[in-house]
C-alpha cells in the first residue's frame, strides 16, 4: 500500500491528562486533530517503536469511536504497524483491552474512551495510549507524546476502504493485518480463572432471596455483565439493567456513584436489593451498594484485601503488597499493617501502580474514585471488583450464613476501626479562580509554613502540610505537585487537587478523611461525621471566596 505523508499543523493543548487526552467531540472532529494525536502517539511509542508493532484498539463505544478507529487503522498502516487487534464494533472495556494487550503480547494499545465523562456530539471523547504491560503509559511516555504533538506537521497514512468492524476474523492487506475479536470472550475466561464461580453460583442457589442488581449505565460493561452475571453465574436477566451500550450513554453521566447511578440507588432501596453494583462508561470503575449499605471505594479495596485469601487467584500468587492513591483513605494501610504487607501511596491515576505490579511488589490496590483492581491486569477493573465482593460474600456465607454487605463492613470496622471519607467535586470552575485558590494553598504550606503548622482551626490543629511528591521506588522517576495535603494532630486529613480528566474549565477535588475507633460511631452518617472537618477545609482553602461556589457539584 502506498504511504501518503500529509501536511498538517500542530494543535495546542494535546497534553494527555490523568488518563489520556480528553476533549469535547467537536475538538477531535477538527481537521487532522485526531490524526495528529495518533501520529504523535505512534512516534512516542517506546523502543522498538511503532514499525512492525502489534496494537490493541477498542473503547467504550462512545460517539465518534468508529470514525476514530478508521483513522487509527489508516495512520497505523502508514506508520508500518504490522497488526491491529480490534474489539468487535470497536468495543473493548478498559480492563478487557488491558487483558488483551497482555494475553496477545501486543506492544501496546489505543483505548478510545473518556471514561465516566458524558458522551455524544456535544460531549467528550478521549484517546489513551497503553504500553506493553497493558497499563496506561507512564508520564515519561505521555510527556513525549505531548512534545511530538507540538511539532507535528506531517502524518503518515495509507488510503484504504473503510474496514467493517462488525465481522470477527482476520484480514491482511499488503502485509498489514487487522483482526476483529470478540469483545468479551478473553475477559470472561480471565475472571473464571481468578474467582471461584462455582462457589458464587452455589451461594445464589442456596439463597434464592438474595437480590442482585447490576447497572451498566449504558456504558461498555453491558455485554460483559450479561455474559458473566447471567450466563456464567446464573442470575436472572432482571438482575441487570441499562446494559445496552449507547454512544451517548442515554444522555447521562456513566459514572457509578450515588448521584449519577440514581436509578440503581432507587431500586436498591425500594426493592430491598441485597447487592447492587454499577460500572462506568469504560468499565474500569465500580460501585458496591446494598440496601442501607453503601461501600466507599476506600473501604471496598480494604475489605477485598482483608479477605483476599478466599479468592483462588490470590491463593495461587499470594498477596505481594497493597497500595492506594494518595487521596484514598488509609483503611487499606491498616490491613497492610495487620497482615505485615508492604503498602504504597502513589499519586492519583492508575498508571502509577504498574511499575510496582511488574516488579512483583503489589497485588491489590485502589483509588477513592471508585477504582479497584489487582495485578491480574494493569488497569482498574469494575467487573473484577464486583465479582470479588460476590466471591467474598459467598465464601463468608459458607461458614456464617446470612452475612451481607453491611455485616461485612461492620465486622471490618470492628477489627480495623473506621476511616470516614468523602470527596467534594466543584466542576467547571473558571480555571483562573481555581489556580488562584491553589496558589493560596501553596503559599500557606510554602512560604507561610512556619505560621501554618501548629495553627488550630475549630477542633483541628495542623501537624503537617505539603504538596504531595512521589518518587517511584522502581524506576526513580519523580512526580511533583500531586495535591496539597494538610494533616492534623488527630490524624484527620484534607487533600485538595485539581482534576486532570475534565474537558472544560477546572474541577476542584476536596477530599476529607477522619479515623475513628469509637464503636458507637461505626454506623454514623459519613457527612455528619465529617461536617466539622469539611468546614475547616472550606475555611482554610477559602474555596467559596475564590470560586463563588457555595456548594459542590457532586459529593461522593
Ligand atoms: C479521576 C480520578 C482518578 C482516576 C481518573 C481516571 O482523575 O480522580 O482517581 O484514576 O479519574 O479514571 P482526576 O485527575 O480527574 O481526579 V477513569 O475511570 O476516567 O479512567
Ligand atoms: Co473509567
CA of 348 to the centre of ligand 1 (A): 7
Look up cell 512483583; give the residue: 360
Q: Domain map of the chain by residue range?
A: 3-183, 187-416, 420-555
Ligand 2 centroid – CA 285 distance (Å) = 5
Dihedrals φ, ψ of 126, to 5°?
Answer: -155, 155
350 lines ligand 1 (CB under 6 A): yes
Cβ of 500 below 6 Å from ligand 1: yes
Burial of 13 (0-12, 13-18, 19+ CB in 10 A): exposed
Q: Which atom of ligand 1 is nearest to the CA of 117?
A: 19
Cell of 486: 494538610
Alpha helices in 400-465 (DSSP H): 405-416, 431-445, 449-452
Ligand 1: does its nearest atom lie under 6 Å from the Cβ of 499? yes
- Ligand 1 midpoint to CA 181 (Å): 28
Residue 127: name the closest of 253, 23, 31 by CA.
23
Q: What residue's CA is closest to ligand 1, atom 11?
A: 501
Q: How buried is 550 (Cβ within 10 angstroms: 0-12 exposed, 13-18 middle, 19+ buried)?
A: exposed
Cα 128 to chain centroid, rounded:
13
114/126 Cα distance (integer angstroms): 5
Residues 6+ apart with CB under 8 A from 411: none
C-alpha cell at 101: 494487550
Which of 472, 525, 465, 469 lies closest to 495 in space, CA to CA? 465
Residue nearest to atom 10 of ligand 1 (CA): 349
Cβ of residue 493 lying under 6 Å from some atom of ligand 1: no
The DSSP string of 100-146 is HHHHTT-SEEEEE--TTS--STTSEEEEEEE-TTSSBPPHHHHHHHH
- Would 3-183 and 187-416 be classified into the same CATH topology? yes
CATH homologous superfamily, domain 420-555? Alpha-D-phosphohexomutase, C-terminal domain (3.30.310.50)
Find cell 445496552 and name the residue: 244
375 lines ligand 1 (CB under 6 A): no
DSSP label at residue 283: S
Sheet holding 493-498, edge to edge: 456-457, 460-467, 484-488, 493-498, 506-516, 418-429, 554-555
140 by Cβ neighbours in 10 Å (0-12 / 13-18 / 19+) ranks as exposed
Residue of 371, 427, 482 to test ligand 1 pocket, by largest number of atoms within 8 Å of CB = 371
C-alpha cell at 17: 491528562
Rounded to an integer, what distance in angstroms lies between the CA atom of residue 542 and that of residue 56?
Answer: 46
pLDDT of residue 536: 94
- Taking alpha carbons only, the member of 114, 99, 102, 135 closest to residue 16 is 114
Buried b (16+ CB within 10 A) or exposed e, 479-510: beebbbbbbbeeebbbbbbbbbbbbeebbbbb
Helix or strand (DSSP H, E) at 510? strand 506-516
The whole-number pLDDT of residue 105 equals: 97
The pLDDT tens digits for 277-322 are: 999 999 999 999 998 899 999 999 999 999 999 999 999 999 999 9
| Cα(45)–Cα(54) distance, integer angstroms | 12
Q: Are 127 and 37 in contact (CB under 8 A)?
A: yes
So which residues are the catalytic ones? 115
Asked whether 371 lines ligand 1 (CB < 6 A), one says yes
18 lines ligand 1 (CB under 6 A): yes
Are residues 106 and 131 in contact, defined by beta-carbon separation less than 8 angstroms?
Answer: no
Do residues 108 and 353 make contact, with C-beta atoms less than 8 angstroms apart?
A: no
What is the Cα–Cα distance from 519 to 335, expressed in whole angstroms? 18
> Is 485 in a helix, a strand, or coil?
strand
Residue closest by Cα to atom 6 of ligand 1: 19
Is the C-beta atom of 124 inside 6 A of ligand 1? no
> Could you give phi then psi for residue 147, rounded to 5 degrees?
-60, -45
Residue nearest to atom 1 of ligand 1 (CA): 501
CATH topology of domain 3-183: Alpha-D-Glucose-1,6-Bisphosphate; Chain A, domain 3 (3.40.120)
Mutate to test the pocket of ligand 1, among 15, 16, 17, 19 (most ligand atoms within 8 A of CB): 19
Nearest to 106 by CA among 57, 54, 59: 54
Contact 301, 380 (CB under 8 A): no
From 123, 348, 505, mutation site for ligand 1 pocket: most ligand atoms within 8 A of C-beta: 348
| Ligand in nearest proximity to the CA of 371 | 1
The burial of 198, by beta-carbon neighbours within 10 Å (0-12 exposed, 13-18 middle, 19 or more buried), is given as exposed
Per-position pLDDT tens, the chain of length 556: 899 999 999 999 999 987 899 999 999 999 999 999 999 999 999 989 999 999 999 999 999 999 999 999 999 999 999 999 999 999 999 999 999 999 999 999 999 999 999 999 999 999 999 999 999 999 899 999 999 999 999 999 999 999 999 999 999 999 999 999 999 999 999 999 999 999 999 999 999 999 999 999 999 999 999 999 999 999 999 999 999 999 999 998 999 998 899 999 999 999 999 999 999 999 999 999 998 899 999 999 999 999 999 999 999 999 999 999 999 999 999 999 999 999 999 999 999 999 999 999 999 999 999 999 999 999 999 999 999 999 999 999 999 999 999 999 999 999 999 999 999 999 989 999 999 999 999 998 988 888 889 999 989 999 999 999 999 999 999 999 899 999 999 889 999 999 977 777 899 999 999 999 888 888 888 899 899 999 999 999 999 998 988 899 989 9
Longest CA span, the chain: 73
Q: Is the Cβ atom of 372 under 6 angstroms away from ligand 1? A: no
Distance 468 CA to ligand 2 centre (A): 24
Q: Which CATH number fits domain 187-416: 3.40.120.10, 3.40.50.1110, 3.90.600.10, 3.40.50.970?
A: 3.40.120.10
Q: Which H helix or E strand runs over 149?
A: helix 139-150
Q: What is the pLDDT of residues 506-545, one digit of tens each?
A: 999 999 999 998 888 888 888 998 999 999 999 999 999 9
**CA distances (Å), 30 to each of 33, 34, 128, 171, 362, in order?**
5, 8, 18, 30, 42
The reported pLDDT for the residue numbered 518 is 87
In 10 A of CB 259, how many CB atoms? 13
- The verdict on the CB of residue 511 being under 6 Å from ligand 1 is no
Strand partners, 179: 85, 170
For 17, list phi and psi in degrees, rounded to 5. Answer: -95, -145
What is the best residue among 501, 507, 554 to mutate for testing ligand 1's pocket, by most ligand atoms within 8 Å of CB? 501
- Helix, strand, coil percentages (3-state) for the chain, rounded to 5, are 35, 25, 35
The pLDDT value recorded for residue 241 is: 96
Tell me the CA–centroid distance for residue 408 and ligand 1, in Å. 27
Whether the Cβ atoms of residue 422 and residue 527 lie closer than 8 Å to each other: yes
Q: Which ligand is nearest to the CA of 126?
A: 1
Burial environment of residue 232 by CB neighbours within 10 A (0 to 12, 13 to 18, 19 or more): middle
Q: Please tell me the predicted confidence (pLDDT) of residue 261.
A: 93
Starting from the CA of residue 22, give the closest ligand. Answer: 1
Amino acid at each position: 500500500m502506498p504511504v501518503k505523508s500529509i501536511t498538517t499543523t500542530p494543535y495546542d493543548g494535546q497534553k494527555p491528562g490523568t488518563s489520556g487526552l480528553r476533549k469535547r467531540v467537536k475538538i477531535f472532529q477538527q481537521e487532522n486533530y485526531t490524526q495528529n494525536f495518533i501520529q504523535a502517539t505512534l512516534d512516542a511509542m517506546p523502543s522498538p517503536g511503532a514499525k512492525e508493532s502489534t496494537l490493541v484498539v477498542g473503547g467504550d463505544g462512545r460517539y465518534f469511536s468508529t470514525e476514530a478507529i478508521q483513522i487509527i487503522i489508516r495512520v497505523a498502516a502508514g506508520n508500518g504497524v504490522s497488526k491491529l487487534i480490534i474489539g468487535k464494533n470497536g468495543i473493548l472495556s478498559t480492563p478487557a483491552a488491558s487483558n488483551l494487550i497482555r494475553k496477545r503480547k501486543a506492544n501496546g494499545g489505543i483505548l478510545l474512551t473518556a471514561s465516566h465523562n458524558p458522551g455524544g456530539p456535544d460531549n467528550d471523547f478521549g484517546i489513551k495510549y497503553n504500553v506493553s504491560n497493558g497499563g496506561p503509559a507512564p508520564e515519561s511516555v505521555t510527556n513525549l507524546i505531548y512534545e511530538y504533538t507540538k511539532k507535528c506537521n506531517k502524518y503518515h497514512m495509507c488510503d484504504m476502504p473503510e474496514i467493517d468492524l462488525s465481522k470477527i476474523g482476520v484480514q491482511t492487506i499488503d502485509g498489514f493485518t487487522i483482526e476483529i475479536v470478540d469483545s468479551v470472550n478473553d475477559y470472561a475466561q480471565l475472571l473464571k480463572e481468578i474467582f471461584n464461580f462455582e462457589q458464587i453460583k452455589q451461594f445464589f442457589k442456596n439463597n434464592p432471596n438474595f437480590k442482585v442488581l447490576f447497572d451498566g449505565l449504558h456504558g461498555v460493561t453491558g455485554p460483559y455483565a450479561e455474559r458473566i452475571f447471567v450466563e456464567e453465574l446464573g442470575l436472572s436477566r432482571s438482575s441487570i439493567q441499562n446494559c445496552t451500550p449507547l454512544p451517548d450513554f442515554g444522555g447521562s453521566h456513566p459514572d457509578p456513584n450515588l448521584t449519577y447511578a440514581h436509578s440503581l440507588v432507587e431500586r436498591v432501596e425500594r426493592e430491598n436489593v441485597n447487592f447492587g453494583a454499577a460500572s462506568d462508561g469504560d468499565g474500569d470503575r465500580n460501585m458496591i451498594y446494598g440496601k442501607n449499605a453503601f461501600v466507599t471505594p476506600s473501604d471496598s479495596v480494604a475489605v477485598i484485601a482483608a479477605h483476599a485469601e478466599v479468592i483462588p487467584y490470590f491463593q495461587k500468587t499470594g498477596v505481594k503488597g497493597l497500595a492506594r492513591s494518595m487521596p484514598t483513605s488509609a483503611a487499606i494501610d491498616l490491613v497492610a499493617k495487620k497482615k505485615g504487607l508492604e503498602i504504597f501511596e502513589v499519586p492519583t491515576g492508575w498508571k502509577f501502580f504498574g511499575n510496582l505490579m511488574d516488579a512483583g511488589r503489589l497485588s491489590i490496590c485502589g483509588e477513592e474514585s471508585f477504582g479497584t483492581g489487582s495485578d491480574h491486569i494493569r488497569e482498574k477493573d469494575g467487573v473484577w471488583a464486583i465479582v470479588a465482593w460476590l466471591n467474598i460474600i459467598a465464601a463468608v456465607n459458607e461458614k456464617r450464613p446470612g452475612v451481607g454487605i453491611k455485616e461485612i463492613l461492620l465486622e471490618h470496622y470492628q477489627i480495623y476501626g473506621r476511616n470516614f471519607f468523602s470527596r467534594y467535586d466543584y466542576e467547571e470552575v473558571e480555571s483562573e479562580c481555581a489556580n488562584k485558590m491553589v496558589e493560596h494553598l501553596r503559599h500557606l504550606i510554602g512560604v507561610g509554613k512556619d505560621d501554618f503548622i501548629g495553627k488550630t482551626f475549630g477542633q483541628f490543629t495542623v501537624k503537617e502540610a505539603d504538596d504531595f511528591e512521589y518518587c517511584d521506588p522502581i524506576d526513580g522517576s519523580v512526580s511533583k505537585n500531586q495535591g496539597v495535603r494538610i494533616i492534623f494532630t488527630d490524624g484527620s486529613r484534607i487533600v485538595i487537587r485539581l482534576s486532570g480528566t475534565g474537558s472544560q474549565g477546572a474541577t476542584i477535588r476536596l477530599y476529607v478523611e477522619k479515623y475513628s475507633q469509637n464503636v458507637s460511631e461505626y454506623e454514623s452518617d459519613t457527612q455528619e461525621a465529617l461536617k466539622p472537618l469539611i468546614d475547616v477545609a472550606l475555611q482554610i482553602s477559602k474555596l467559596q471566596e475564590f470560586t463563588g461556589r457555595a456548594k459542590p457539584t457532586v459529593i461522593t
